[in-house]
Structure 1
Amino acid sequence: MNLDGKRILLTGASGGIGEALAHALASHGATLLLHGRKSAALEALRQQLPNPERHHCLCADLCHPQERRQLVNAPVLADGVDILINNAGTNQFAWLEDQTEEQITAQIELNTLAPILLTRALLPKLRTPGLIMNIGSSFGAIGYAGYSAYCASKFAMRGFSEALGRELEGSGIKVLHFAPRATRTHLNSPDVYAMNVALGTQTDSPDEVAEWAVASLEREQIRTWIGWPEKLFVRLNALLPGLVDRALAKQHSIISRFAHPLAHKEGSQ
């Protein structure tokens, strides 16, 4: 799809991948409806974009039903949108037993439930031909220690994307699932960065991820996995999960050192 002149609703626009995506999409001539929870950050972003007068800010907590309805019913959406990008998300890196109920709930609600409900509400406003892009993760196909709740949320979004895409066959609306690997954003804690260094894990910048996402939109690519060896592990995990079990078991002690630090401190006393 040619993005020039297209109206795009981008959730989670004010930081990380979302902010980089906003700049990349605006540079391709898109008109952006920028969603976030902090109006000042959204407005600052809007002013930084090319032709800021073309773009609009929509402040809402997607996990709050009333605010989600207000976003859907915003006057700026009355004429519809060409593309919906479900990008807003959160993660918590820790052993499951060390996560609070609130942290687990937040990941499932923002990463899975909110985008599903938002997509459902916006389907009547999507123009045809139109696109829905769900920003997933390599952890939506590879269960990874320390990310159990996050993986659950991203596995669910991958299934949602696939099922909805098949449901909308012939409607003029395509559903794209775009899955980055580790990305350098504020969502990651210092422990995550330290673990990635210890494991030699490659990480991408938000700008790199944004460029690949724009390319996937232009090609209308249904499934996109970013990075090597992540692409290989995604396929192996689907076909021969036992091989991935054994490979990741070799990383377990390093992952545990950062995801479950209290146990290591207690063990050293």
Structure 2
Amino acid sequence: MNDKKTVLITGAGTGIGRALSIQAALKGFELIPVGRTMKTLDETRLMCASGNIRCVAADVTSPEGRALIVDAVNGALDILINNAGVLAVGHLADMADGDLERMAQTNLIAPMALTRDLLPALRVSKGRIVNIGSVFGDIAYPFFAGYSATKFGLRGFSDAMRRELSGSGIGVTYIAPRATRTAAEGAFSALMEPLDMTLDTAEAVASQAWDAILKGKRESFPKGKERFFVKVQRLFPSLVDKSVGAQARDPKTLAALKPSVIS
């Protein structure tokens, strides 16, 4: 690995973003971790076995925050990983406007705007855009309606940019983890059993993501039943309607629901 290659990772203060950062440092990248607070970024930095780290405390949802990120890149970037995300779980009827707006701003609008702002730097390096989506970006789950909508949008954005940038030398990789053991797990922990959810560690997700990134893959899904269900969803969505709809109506699922928001 060329140790002069630079990767910028949003949401790097915790969870998948932290795991991606630690593994990036081990691979020899110059690292620009981005997060909302310097405290969590410093914690990530201390876990990374590298001195080539420039932490940026910035809010990716604001123009001012994105300007700080662009300044930190300083004109050239090899890999942009749009990882920052938030989650709200529950009946749509219980979702406040703020819940929906926060997911749309963080999960979809911010990655689009940051990618736009960093395209000049990515063109210099003929780099790669990596969007961390979700299996819920293919299989729309009840009680995750807003979150699923933003991840469907991120998958569509990835496809569109891959085609828009064809011939430019810039690649686009879409990563779709299943449920992951992070701070967000608390928002849906009661639903794990009734919805038969499998959880991966952040480290496992990061390892699979880096494998796909370094191989220049178009997209990456977890091994197991979710990958099969994604194929079924794309070919026979009515079958998924019946299966997941039954889970949504199950009394155990309904009993487990309560509105919550975790970032």
Q: Under a length normalisation based on structure 2, what TM-score does the superposition of the two structures give?
A: 0.93
Confirm or deny: 8 A CA contact 1:146 1:255 kept in the other structure. no
Counterpart-to-counterpart distance in 2, 1:119 and 1:176: 13
Partner of 1:135 in structure 2?
A: 132
Secondary structure of the residue aligned to 1:84 is strand
- Find 1:169's aligned residue among 166, 169, 172: 166
Distance in 2 (alpha carbons) for counterparts of 1:220 and 1:201: 29
Q: Is residue 223 of structure 2 the alignment partner of residue 227 of structure 1? A: yes
Corresponding residue of 2:181: 184
Q: Is the 8 A contact 2:14 2:44 kept in 1?
A: no
Deviation at 1:223, TM superposition (A): 1.1
Is residue 2:117 matched to residue 1:121? yes
The alignment yields a C-alpha RMSD, in angstroms, of 1.5
Amino acid corresponding to residue 31 of structure 2 in structure 1:
L
Note the alpha carbon deviations across 1:36-82, whole angstroms, 9 max, x for none: 0001111221122112x31011111111222222321x2x3114110
1:244 has 2:234 as partner? no
Structure 1: gaps (5+ residues): 262-269
| Preserved CA contact (<8 Å) 2:194 2:253 | no
TM-fit CA distance, 1:4: 4.3
Partners of 1:63 and 1:93 in 2: CA distance: 21
Paired amino acid for 2:53: H
Give the C-alpha shift of residue 186 in structure 1.
0.3
For the structure 1 residues 215 and 3, does the alpha-carbon distance in structure 2 shift closer, same or farther, using more than 3 Å as the test? Answer: farther
**1:7 counterpart = 2:3:** no
Whichever residue aligns with residue 163 of structure 1, its letter is A
Gaps of 5+ in 2: none
1:112 to 108, 112, 116: 108
Q: Which amino acid aligns with 1:132?
A: I
CA offset digits 1:96-150 (Å, max 9, x no partner): 1111110110000000001100000100011333111000000001110011110
TM-score, structure 1 normalization: 0.91
Quote the residue 2:192 is aligned against.
Answer: 196
**Aligned residues of 2:75 and 2:120 also touching (Cα < 8 A):** no
* Contact 1:36–1:59 (8 Å) recurs in 2: yes
CA distance in 2, matches of 1:247, 1:3: 47
* 1:94 equivalent in alignment to 2:90: yes
Matched, 1:149 2:141: no
1:165/1:186 CA distance change after superposition, 3 Å: same
135-144 vs 232-241, greater mean Cα deviation: 232-241
Q: In the TM superposition, what is the alpha-carbon distance from 1:3 to its structure 2 partner?
A: 6.3
Q: Distance in 1 between matches of 2:105 and 2:75?
A: 28
Determine if the alignment matches structure 1 residue 20 to structure 2 residue 16: no
Aligned to 1:37: 36
Question: Which residue does 1:160 correspond to in 2?
Answer: 157
The structure number with the bigger radius of gyration is 1
Q: Percent identity?
A: 37
Distance (Å, rounded) in 1 between the aligned partners of 2:88 and 2:3: 36
Q: Show the counterpart of 1:256.
A: 254
2:127 alignment partner, SS class:
strand
Cα pair distance change 1:151/1:210, threshold 3 Å? same
Q: Which letter does structure 2 place at the counterpart of 1:80?
A: A
Counterpart of 1:139 in structure 2: which amino acid?
F
Instruction: Kindly provide the amino acid, as one letter, of the partner of residue 59 in structure 2.
Output: D
Q: Is the 8 A contact 2:15 2:202 kept in 1?
A: yes
